[in-house]
Amino acid sequence: MKKILIVTYYWPPSGGIGVHRCLKFAVEALLVDEGLVDKKVLEVFSYAMDLREGADYGSIYDEDSARFLIDAAERILEGMKSP
């Protein structure tokens, strides 16, 4: 299995977008690049990061976007449970 090294000022990150960016890089390197997870998962994750950042810093959010992400997350989890 492939390994990655994440260099950071302190670990673990305290939360927010810094955590999401590290997680995105890890998912891409360990799962998507290895063909274990579809690239669409990373696209949805990037969209989720953008929504989270907008909600945290710009007070921009809506119920439709939240529902889309919840549905996508449920599909991803079900796909990962399947052999």
Measured distance CA(51)–CA(44) in Å, rounded: 10
Cis peptide before 13 (omega within 30 of 0): no
In 1-83, which ranges are continuous DSSP H helix? Answer: 17-27, 39-57, 63-81
pLDDT value, residue 50: 80
Question: How many alpha carbons fall within 13 Å on the CB side of residue 47?
Answer: 14
- Percent of the residues in the chain that have a pLDDT greater than 70, as a whole number: 83
Q: What is the DSSP string of 65-81?
A: HHHHHHHHHHHHHHHHH
Bigger pLDDT: 74 vs 13: 74
pTM: 0.62
> What is the mean pLDDT of the segment spanning 23-42?
83
